[in-house]
Structure 1
Amino acid sequence: MAGKLGIYIHIPFCRSKCDYCDFYSLAGREDRMDDYRKALTAHIRETAPLAKGYQVDTIYFGGGTPSYFGAKRVKEVLGEIQRRFDVVREAEVTVECNPDSVDKKMLTCLRRAGVNRISLGVQSSCDAQLAALHRPHTFQQAKDAVRAVREAKIKNLSLDLIYGLPGQDMEGWKQSVEDLIALEPEHLSCYGLKVEEGTPLYLRVAGGEILPDDDQQADMYLWMVDRLQEAGYQQYEISNFAKKGFQSRHNLKYWLGKPYIGFGPGAHSDFGGRRYSFVRDLDRYIQGVLKGGGIVDQSELIPQRERSGEYLMLRLRTTRGVEEWEYRREYFMNFDPIEQKLAEFERMGWAVWEDRRWHLTPKGFLVSNQLIGTLLEIQEKEALDSLLPRLRRARQEQKP
């Protein structure tokens, strides 16, 4: 039986750079769009034979702003994937878009090319907050974009929203959530604002700009979880909510440790037991693919023991969580010390055992980094304790 594979295409072009963005994206480089399309299609042709025996069931165009790259270029890259890989008929094909760079004609072109899911970066329904982030659109443009998605007959729409923004209070956050619910998307991704070093927002905060504090953000998060549940959106990951049948199949590959191949500068892959990434340099990537040269930034073989840590770290981001015999079967490790700690978390209201699986609660998700870090320390100690007897036996067997 063929394995399932995801494909990620990074489109690094943007009309403008948002103040909080730490992704590899570039404004003012439209002159390289056609060369980049050539590099992507060449890289896809070169890589496809390595995936023989795999069926591609998710394709994701992320960025940057893929819609700014243009429907024609996206269509050509997608067509190359469809020709070179074994893409299943029901594959989920997502394109990230900004509201200012889509219209019905463009979206209809994408749908006819095979795109069946749009992820729209709205972020807030308050124009003042959007302007404070240097987002290139208004909320009215977001509403127009949603209407264009529906008129183009695309039936799977995800909207992005951020809490903890400059000038945002609880009432403003509630209004944004209600405004996005009213747009009736199938999926919502709701993230807490992260202030990344090196971004304009980092400099603004360092200069004294005040953002909602941790307690305020926690209140925003917990209210949102309850409100979205009430509105029919089931939480399936820390920041992701979906109506029944509309979970992001591509993003679930990351959280469930499934294989995927990335293309483009800064793109990551996890394929063939190896994790690797490409250089965060548009010109070097184009040059390397089209004319020869190194484009790999990092590459490492991931031992099964390390995968056991990823199992805890990634699965506990989801409401699917972890399961004892799944863990024992895959990694041949003792689950008991981990379960004992999860039971402690349950008493604190941070975790729950249901349907024979452990997963974090919304309150647990708020402190998930600390909780998962504790579990990883327990796992490391358990691995060391199991290794020591084998080392002692090996030394005894070597004695004359």
Structure 2
Amino acid sequence: MADKLGIYIHIPFCRSKCDYCDFYSLAGRDDRMDQYQKALLSHIRETAPLAQDFPVDTIYIGGGTPSYYGAKRLKELLGVVHKLYKVEKDAEVTVECNPDSVDRKALKILRKAGANRLSMGMQSANARELECIHRIHTPQQVNEAATAARKAGFTNLSLDLIYGLPGQTMDSWKATVEHALSLIPQHLSCYGLKVEEGTPLAARVAEGEVLPDDDQQADLYLWTVGRLERAGYPQYEISNFAKPGFASRHNLRYWLTQPYIGFGPGAHSDFGGRRYSFVRDLDAYIQGVLQGGDIIDESELIPKRERCGEYLMLRLRTVQGINEQEYRSTYFMDFAPLQARLEQFQAQGWAEQTDGRWHFTPQGFLLSNQLIGDLLERQEQAHWEDLVAKSRHDHLDQGCP
């Protein structure tokens, strides 16, 4: 049976650009929406034959701000995908939205078009914090959008929150989380603020603006994990929490290295053993699709050895973690060096083993980049030791002295 497939559609348009954002998104380019829609539809249609043998179980429309793009355009996109791809009846279909660009009428259109999950950029319940990062919605608009979503028939609502914002305190963060919980979402994504190079926020920090430091962010994060666990939203990935049965199936496919196809400028794909991405240029993408030009930015075949590293790097972002038998049978690698190191991490309170699967604790997630880097080094060392041993064995088999 063919692997199930995810589809990602990137909508790069925004009403305004947030100070922390380094995703490929554009404000003030509304004049290109119609041509972009034409290019997207063409690209989706021409790719369909390549995916005809793959059941599609997740669709994710992200951005940018898809809701700003307009419900009618999104409805048209979903209609073409449902017509040309083998979309399963219970597929998870997510649309990202901002509170200031949705209303009940638009959400009803999306729900009727097959969208069954909304991911809403709430970020904070504090008006001053929102203004500080150039978010243009208000806390009241979050409440109104959540109510409109329920009335439109959505029963799967996810809210995005950011901790570590300028001027944020433990008390203001707690108030944001409690406000989010009062809206009764099924899913919460809680991201630590990162200062990305080239963003307005990076320029502000370079000029001396002070943000919550790593220790303060760690305190906010650890409180969040405990609070959401008690509220019925167990953690399933470093930044994600959900009521049972509502983990994001599309996001999980990235961490579980399952295939997906992306459409739009800057979109990535992992399909047919190849990873590739498209140019981060709206006009170049439109021209390339409609006039037959090259839109590929990067493309590479992924060897089994690199997939082995991805298994560690990506699955250890999840609470599901890694398993010795799974690792050995899939990649034919010795798990013992990893086991020894994981046991050391366990002694430090950074990892634990549950039902035969190793995963990080919340304290370990805070150090995940360093811990995963350590495990990758040990994996690489084990790989070369295995090659040397095999080479020596082959040398002896050939009767050499």
TM-score by length of 1: 0.99
- 1:61 corresponds in structure 2 to 61
- 2:145 corresponds in structure 1 to 145
Q: Is it true that 1:380 corresponds to 2:383 in the alignment?
A: no
Q: Is it true that 1:160 corresponds to 2:177 in the alignment?
A: no
- 1:322 corresponds in structure 2 to 322
**What pairs up with 1:22-101 in 2 under 5 angstroms?**
22-101=22-101
Instruction: Give the letter aligned to residue 51 of structure 2.
Output: A
- 1:4 corresponds in structure 2 to 4
CA distance in 2, matches of 1:48, 1:374: 41
SS of corresponding position for 1:77:
helix
Instruction: Give the letter aligned to residue 120 of structure 1.
Output: M
Instruction: Give the letter aligned to residue 366 of structure 2.
Output: L
* C-alpha distance after superposition, 1:103-144 (max 9, x if no partner): 000000000000000000000000000000000101111111
Q: Alpha carbons of 1:398 and 1:59: their partners in 2 closer, same or farther (altered >3 Å)?
A: farther
- 1:276 corresponds in structure 2 to 276
CA distance in 2, matches of 1:86, 1:202: 43
- 2:347 corresponds in structure 1 to 347
CA distance in 1, matches of 2:9, 2:137: 24
Report the alpha carbon displacement of residue 187 of structure 1 after superposing the two structures with TM.
Answer: 0.2
Q: Is it true that 1:18 corresponds to 2:18 in the alignment?
A: yes
CA distance in 2, matches of 1:285, 1:322: 38
SS of corresponding position for 1:266:
coil
Report the alpha carbon displacement of residue 174 of structure 1 after superposing the two structures with TM.
Answer: 0.7
CA distance in 2, matches of 1:379, 1:202: 35
Pick which of 258-267 and 43-52 moved more.
43-52
CA distance in 1, matches of 2:213, 2:15: 31
CA distance in 2, matches of 1:273, 1:46: 20
Report the alpha carbon displacement of residue 313 of structure 1 after superposing the two structures with TM.
Answer: 0.4
CA distance in 2, matches of 1:392, 1:48: 48
Structure 1 outlier segments of 4+, above 2 Å: 389-400
* C-alpha distance after superposition, 1:336-383 (max 9, x if no partner): 110110000000000001111100000000000000000000000000
CA distance in 2, matches of 1:64, 1:394: 55
**What pairs up with 1:176-191 in 2 under 5 angstroms?**
176-191=176-191
SS of corresponding position for 2:322:
coil
CA distance in 1, matches of 2:194, 2:138: 22
CA distance in 1, matches of 2:341, 2:3: 34
SS of corresponding position for 2:377:
helix
* C-alpha distance after superposition, 1:61-83 (max 9, x if no partner): 00000000000001111111111
* C-alpha distance after superposition, 1:172-211 (max 9, x if no partner): 1111111111111000000000000000000000100000
Gaps of 5+ in 1: none
Instruction: Give the letter aligned to residue 282 of structure 2.
Output: L
Q: Is it true that 1:207 corresponds to 2:216 in the alignment?
A: no
Report the alpha carbon displacement of residue 96 of structure 1 after superposing the two structures with TM.
Answer: 0.2
CA distance in 2, matches of 1:76, 1:109: 11
- 1:308 corresponds in structure 2 to 308
- 2:218 corresponds in structure 1 to 218
Report the alpha carbon displacement of residue 395 of structure 1 after superposing the two structures with TM.
Answer: 5.4
SS of corresponding position for 2:300:
strand
Q: Provide the identity percentage.
A: 68
CA distance in 1, matches of 2:38, 2:234: 40
Instruction: Give the letter aligned to residue 100 of structure 2.
Output: D
Report the alpha carbon displacement of residue 153 of structure 1 after superposing the two structures with TM.
Answer: 1.0
Q: Is it true that 1:260 corresponds to 2:260 in the alignment?
A: yes
Instruction: Give the letter aligned to residue 196 of structure 1.
Output: E
Instruction: Give the letter aligned to residue 326 of structure 1.
Output: E
Report the alpha carbon displacement of residue 325 of structure 1 after superposing the two structures with TM.
Answer: 0.1
Instruction: Give the letter aligned to residue 23 of structure 1.
Output: F
- 2:108 corresponds in structure 1 to 108
SS of corresponding position for 2:299:
strand
Gaps of 5+ in 2: none
CA distance in 1, matches of 2:286, 2:83: 21
CA distance in 1, matches of 2:92, 2:381: 40
Report the alpha carbon displacement of residue 398 of structure 1 after superposing the two structures with TM.
Answer: 9.5
CA distance in 1, matches of 2:238, 2:69: 30
CA distance in 2, matches of 1:18, 1:201: 9
Instruction: Give the letter aligned to residue 37 of structure 1.
Output: Q
Report the alpha carbon displacement of residue 52 of structure 1 after superposing the two structures with TM.
Answer: 2.1
Report the alpha carbon displacement of residue 296 of structure 1 after superposing the two structures with TM.
Answer: 0.3
Report the alpha carbon displacement of residue 389 of structure 1 after superposing the two structures with TM.
Answer: 2.4
- 1:234 corresponds in structure 2 to 234
The count of corresponding residues between Structure 1 and Structure 2 is 400
Instruction: Give the letter aligned to residue 65 of structure 2.
Output: T
SS of corresponding position for 1:137:
coil
- 1:391 corresponds in structure 2 to 391
- 1:196 corresponds in structure 2 to 196
* C-alpha distance after superposition, 1:38-65 (max 9, x if no partner): 1111001111111121000000000000
Instruction: Give the letter aligned to residue 206 of structure 2.
Output: A
CA distance in 2, matches of 1:81, 1:60: 11
SS of corresponding position for 2:211:
coil
